[in-house]
Structure 1
Amino acid sequence: MNQLLAMRAFIRVIEAGSFNRAADQLGMPRSSLSKLVSDLEKHLGTKLIHRTTRTISVTAEGVEYLHQAEQVIAAVESADMAIRGKKHKPSGHLRIDVPVSFAHLLLIPALPEFHQEFPDITLSLGINDRTVNIVGEAVDCAIRAGTLSDMSLIGRKLFELDYVTCASPNYLARYGEPTSPKDLGNNHRIVSYFFAATGKPEPLIFILDGDRQDIYVSQFAANEGNGVINMMLAGLGVGQHLRRFVQPHIDAGTLVPVLTDWHQPRLPFHLLYPPNRHQSARLRVFVNWLIARFSL
């Protein structure tokens, strides 16, 4: 058995999420790929992957071995690049997890620049506002908004974004413009964001001269950012969103800022990735590109 080849096959299966997709990416028969992984499991004397007809899941031993195999492959790639004098740019596949609004409005429009610089790196974007298990789901890195809670991961701050409170012209023509957070809470319809994992709404926060008012009650809510924007555009109520994401609608006049004297704490965005001592060349260049492209 070629153990290095089997390691690469195992890693690719986890990255792709299935034997069929991994086989397609590697350009080999599924049966050959499956045999490589099976031979690796026999060599190690343990099960790395649970297989069903449609899905795979990584065992605890598989997760542990994945980290070791990634370090071995990264070390081999580094040695190869050193010998070749870095004539070849990094290549391979990355899985990235990104919040919905960040993906559609910032990252995807910028990806042609990354592809032009590193044409041999392919990407799979997990686009959702759900907090994924980066290690358990074999994600190379993730972009997350808010305060960091998982101290087992390496976090690099990208930037902070400002919020804006706004509503559609149709809504304001029908209900009038709120004069204060209290007026908003008592006399208006509110659009908010809720966390899918808990169902808890995120409050609308208003701060002015040390006075803070949080409004939890809402008539409409969505568990991802674009849903909140579209609800406001539809005239369902007043909501808060990151200004960088709604600015095109403000410029077009389809959303109007309100209660502009009040502000909400800025939202930090971080880049997270596992603390492997030896990062793959492709992940390293992607991390460096993200920081250079989006850091303030």
Structure 2
Amino acid sequence: MDKLSAYEAFTQSAETGSFVVAGRNLGISASAVGKAVARLEQRLDVRLFHRNTRNMTLTEEGRRFLERCRRIFEEVEAAEAELAQLSRTPKGRLRVSMPLVGMLLTPVMAEFMRAWPEVQLELDFNDRLVDIIEEGFDAVIRTGTPSDSRLMARNLGRFRMHIVAAPDYLAQHGTPQRPEDLEVHHCLHQRSPNTGKIRSWPLAPTDGARKLVLPERMSASAVDPLIELAVRGFGIACLPPFAIRRELAEGLLVPILTPWIEGMDQFHVLWPASRKVTPKLRAFIDFMAEHLRPGDVAAQQTD
């Protein structure tokens, strides 16, 4: 048990790059983590980290040992999963990565927590391309089409983007009737947090297929400020329907150019194909497939 504790202290330190964060994750002090790692290095007679006053990085020996430790904990997790299968009761910590826009789906997460109170959800919200296997996530929820052959996927539902504006804005500036009309309007854009590039609006080409150049009134990497500014009448935005359900229902925003919007986006839940599906993960996958309705089109559930 002492060895496993030391391995866990080392693994957490290596993955977080900090004794302080590792200690916080393990519920012990940073000093205790540092001492555990030092004792481990002494026992192994090898240096696992390059340390200075600013940061610490793994040595070559440390990188190799980290791979071994991850395999050990995967085996421990697999053993626990087999025991959990016997009870068939979903329980324990479930680490899930979601896109930033997934914050708007927290009501569904609340319903899941109510349905399975013994499952401890640990949600990580970001738009970067996480490595679910290397970073130890049980599952990730992402938009788009899955492309990683190491992962299993289940479709959680499809949605079509909405182009919306406040009634006051349209009363003052007029309502665009065709996509090219947007070129004289104030457009509120979303930028990719990864690339910094503005995300294009899914508009069908008009006659002549001239490339549209939409003005940039403002841009943001999250949808919340776009919603707020659109409601306040500062411009037109392109947003997912689940982000603006209340605003549409209350008439704070109205959809425009609907016939010109093309294509569908979709949510998927992904999990490692190499791991057994634990009861807690199966409960999460099934619950999301049943309850998540990201758009106006009913979710198409497929394994």
TM-score bin, normalised by smaller chain: 0.7 to 0.9
Secondary structure at the counterpart of residue 116 of structure 1 = helix
C-alpha deviations, 1:186-205, integer Å up to 9, x for none? x2222222223322222222
Q: Is the contact made by 1:154 and 1:273 (CA closer than 8 Å) also made in structure 2? A: yes
Give the Å deviation of 1:266. Answer: 0.9
Cα distance in structure 2, aligned partners of 1:214 and 1:192: 17
Q: How many residues align?
A: 290
2:154/2:270 contact within 8 Å kept:
yes
Residues 4-48 of structure 1: CA deviation (Å, up to 9, x unaligned): 444555566678775445545544444444444555566677766
Matching residue within 248, 251, 258 for 1:250: 248
CA-CA distance at 1:132 after TM superposition: 3.5
1:196-246 CA deviation, whole Å, 9 max, x = no partner? 332222222223899977635331222222233233223222221112221
* CA–CA separation in structure 2 for the residues paired with 1:119 and 1:289: 13
Partner of residue 296, structure 2: none
Partner of 1:167: 165
> Equivalent of 2:68, from 65, 69, 92?
65
- The percentage of aligned residue pairs carrying the same residue is 30
TM superposition shift of 1:261: 2.0
Q: CA RMSD in A?
A: 3.7
- Does structure 1 retain, via aligned residues, the 8 Å contact 2:119–2:280? yes
Counterparts of 1:285 and 1:15 in 2: how far apart (Å)? 28
Structure 2 alignment gaps of length 5 or more: 294-298
TM-aligned CA distance change 1:135 to 1:62, over 3 Å? farther
Q: Does 1:74 align with 2:77?
A: yes
2:269 corresponds in structure 1 to 271
Q: Is the 8 A contact 2:88 2:279 kept in 1?
A: no
What is the rounded CA distance, in whole Å, between the counterparts of 1:133 and 1:258 in structure 2?
Answer: 38
- Tell me if structure 2 keeps the 8 A contact 1:71–1:278: no
Alignment of 1:105-116 (within 5 A): 105-106=104-105, 108-116=106-114
1:78 aligned counterpart, secondary structure:
helix
Q: Please tell me the residue identity of whatever aligns with 1:97.
A: S
Give TM-score scaled by structure 1 length: 0.77
Question: Is 1:195 paired with 2:198?
Answer: no
How many angstroms apart in 2 are the aligned matches of 1:43 and 1:112?
46
Structure-2-length-normalised TM-score: 0.76
Q: Which runs of 5+ in 1 are unaligned?
A: none
Amino acid at match of 1:102: G
Q: Give deviations 1:71-104, integer Å, cap 9, x for gaps.
A: 212222034336xx41765213x4322222222x
Give deviations 1:145-190, integer Å, cap 9, x for gaps.
Answer: 12334444443322111111111122112210012111222x2222
Instruction: Return 43-52 or 66-75, whichever deviates more.
Output: 43-52
Corresponding residue SS for 2:87 = coil
Q: Distance in 2 between matches of 1:13 and 1:265?
A: 44
Q: Could you tell me how far apart the structure 2 residues matched to 1:76 and 1:34 are?
A: 28
Counterpart contact for 1:91–1:118, Cα < 8 Å: no
